[in-house]
Structure 1
Amino acid sequence: MEYRKLGRTGLEVSALCLGTMQFGWTADETQAAEVMDAFVAAGGNFIDTADVYSRWHPGNPGGISEEIIGRWLQQRGNRRQVVLATKVRGRMWDGPNGEGLSRAHIIQACEDSLRRLQTDWIDLYQTHWYDAETPIEETLRALDDLVRTGKVRYIGCSNLPAWRLTTALWQSDKLGLARYDALQPHYSLVHRAEFEREMADLCREQQLGVIPYSPLAGGFLTGKYRKDQPLPESARANSVRRYFTERNWVLLEAMESLARTHGRTVSQIALAWQLAQPVITSPIIGANSVEQLNESLGAVGLGLADDEIKRLNDLSSWATLGLAWLPDGARRPVPAGGLIRTCT
């Protein structure tokens, strides 16, 4: 396993972060424990969850993932070896203050997460998405209080537009408050623009750690989905349909070719592409089984050549949407009916 500093902080985290949205949803507690055991055995120390996981699943009130992790931490007695991240924002109880980023919600939600996780502190406490109804100063002051009391060590954010993150960083600097030291963006080879348009440069300049979620695009970048074939059995299969474009099938074919060249898998190529970027700290991987986990872990140490990275960048660039790569290396406007199939 490789380790990297989380942004400008002194905190060292594993090059891959274990996401746990699936715990209590597509992975039961036994499977979750097996995955966490294998992750730690491989040198992983960074685990990410959220209080709302997985509230959308029938019968799940939220907090289940945190409870599973909390029991595992107690049983293994390894809290000090784990960098634990969770998130706050979503609805967790009834009433007008049951969600949001107000002081009232943040302080209570943090106490609830600490209880479920069976720990005295959270290493990285993240705002899950922004709250347009609450002043950013109120949110930051509440988070700063949690840092000062030792209940939280670092703070981060997720799903923020660049201007809101800039405002938050400015307010922290102006008011002398704890500042966001990490960003959790939605980012993958087939979802690049949201992060790359503005956020990547902002994170680089402000030295934020970047821990992207969905780096495998919900499974699309594992190679298990095929053009003109039925969807495999999966709780997330329908949400992956949005990636079924001619452009992305061409990209996937190129990734399969690279995987064969390196003797690796498509998912390892997708993760290695992210790990090669200096601005990226630790992509978040999910796994329902140890087998799935081990496949993702195989991306660590996989070095792609500069020309291979350029090829992937060119095929997936949001700046060239509406253009198609042709065999002669040129690009042409996309004709009616979709992209030209050009991968060679």
Structure 2
Amino acid sequence: MMSYAYDQGINFFDNAEVYADGLSEEIMGDALKKLNWSRDSYLVSSKVFWGGDKPTQKGLNRKHVIEGCNNALKRFKLDYLDLYYCHRPDVDTPIIETLRAMDTLIQQGKILYWGTSEWSSEQITEAYTLAERYHLTPPTVEQPQYNLLHRERVEREYSPLYEKYGMGTTTWSPLSSGILTGKYGQGIPEGSRLSLEKFSWLKEMYDTPEGKVKLKIANELHELAIKKGLTLTHLSLAWCLKNQNVSSVILGASRLEQLEDNLKALDFIHLLDDELMESIEVITNNRPEPHIDWKKH
């Protein structure tokens, strides 16, 4: 899948210390060694926060940020990471401590850029402000969830940050854990994510009243997509790509056929004209209210 993605022009591969307790990074590292691509032709990211069960293996304190990076480099068998994310905010560690740790790693050449994932706009703003004040390297990118069913943070909360700081986004879960593929319209198929025991929490989430509303929306979007000659998968991915503040849409394919199909969404972006976009808004009924900068009023 990595070879196919690379041949199609994809050059960014995302990972994290918590994925399969580090095994995911080892497997990706083995693949990168075997593929033997020129190191300046692709980007690799890792994320730090959940590194292990011990108290010193968690969070965004200086110790874990630096040791987590060193451990990730060993698993990847690489000299440096292109991107290193704070996987979640850490309320127990001052942001300035995390900034200094990230800046140290940059000065050491172990990472080139750093970013955040699911931080609030206030936390991101504090990071930029402190970085400027103390001449430290600021974050470059945020990795938030973004899809047709989850929009508020990317479209409203972060809206002042794109222009003010030039912040990019590498969005995750564009298909909302498979809900926006249409495969759950008639129940839960055998072998699908919601059928697996380790994802029982996800199934329970969609058994709630709010979850059932989302499933209903997905079914209606599926019908709209079919009328337009699209699949719900292609509609959902193309919709994410339409947002000018989305730098990259992270795909989580588990089979080559899925990846091949997902990439076809690029061919359908032009079909999402104003009329279709408005039809989508009518179904989802979740367009965030515009951000108001009260300092300008």
TM-score (norm 1): 0.75
Using the TM superposition, name which of 204-213 and 274-283 deviates more: 204-213
> Structure 2 matches for 1:127-166, cutoff 5 A?
127-166=86-125
Give the AA of the match of 2:113.
Y
2:19 aligned counterpart, secondary structure = coil
1:261 corresponds to which residue? 228
Q: Deviations over 1:283-342 (max 9, x none)?
A: 111111110001111111422112211222332243589xxxxxxxxxxxxxxxxxxxxx
Instruction: Decide which of 187, 191, 216 is 2:146's aligned counterpart.
Output: 187
Instruction: Decide which of 18, 29, 32 is 1:52's aligned counterpart.
Output: 18
1:318 aligned counterpart, secondary structure = coil
251 and 71 in structure 1: CA distance in 2 versus 1, 3 angstrom threshold: closer
8 Å Cα contact 2:60/2:90 also seen in 1 = yes
1:252 corresponds to which residue? 219
175 and 212 in structure 1: CA distance in 2 versus 1, 3 angstrom threshold: same
Distance 2:285 2:123 in 1: 25
For CA contacts below 8 A with separation 6 or more, give which structure has more relative contact order.
1
8 Å Cα contact 1:124/1:153 also seen in 2 = yes
2:41 corresponds to which residue? 81
Instruction: Decide which of 226, 233, 237 is 2:191's aligned counterpart.
Output: 233
Distance 1:153 1:172 in 2: 16
Instruction: Decide which of 257, 279, 288 is 1:291's aligned counterpart.
Output: 257
Distance 1:199 1:76 in 2: 37
Unaligned runs of 5+ in 2: 290-297
2:295 corresponds to which residue? none
1:203 corresponds to which residue? 162
8 Å Cα contact 1:251/1:312 also seen in 2 = no
Deviation, 1:165, is 1.0
Give the AA of the match of 1:234.
S
8 Å Cα contact 1:51/1:86 also seen in 2 = yes
Distance 1:247 1:154 in 2: 36
Distance 2:114 2:188 in 1: 42
Unaligned runs of 5+ in 1: 1-34, 55-61, 322-344
8 Å Cα contact 1:190/1:217 also seen in 2 = yes
1:300 corresponds to which residue? 266
246 and 101 in structure 1: CA distance in 2 versus 1, 3 angstrom threshold: closer
Distance 1:230 1:106 in 2: 39
Deviation, 1:119, is 0.5
36 and 260 in structure 1: CA distance in 2 versus 1, 3 angstrom threshold: farther
1:245 aligned counterpart, secondary structure = helix
8 Å Cα contact 1:256/1:265 also seen in 2 = no
Deviation, 1:148, is 1.4
Q: Higher helix proportion, which one?
A: 2
251 and 75 in structure 1: CA distance in 2 versus 1, 3 angstrom threshold: closer
Q: Find out whether 1:39 has 2:5 as its counterpart.
A: yes
Identity %: 32
Distance 1:150 1:158 in 2: 22
Give the AA of the match of 1:183.
E
TM-score (norm 2): 0.87
2:266 aligned counterpart, secondary structure = coil
Distance 2:277 2:34 in 1: 42
Provide the alpha-carbon RMSD of the alignment.
Answer: 2.1
Distance 2:267 2:67 in 1: 41
2:82 aligned counterpart, secondary structure = strand
1:124 corresponds to which residue? 83
Instruction: Decide which of 309, 313, 327 is 2:277's aligned counterpart.
Output: 309
1:16 corresponds to which residue? none
Distance 1:143 1:319 in 2: 35
Deviation, 1:248, is 4.5
8 Å Cα contact 1:144/1:177 also seen in 2 = yes
Distance 1:317 1:203 in 2: 24
> Structure 2 matches for 1:330-341, cutoff 5 A?
none
Distance 1:225 1:142 in 2: 44
2:292 corresponds to which residue? none
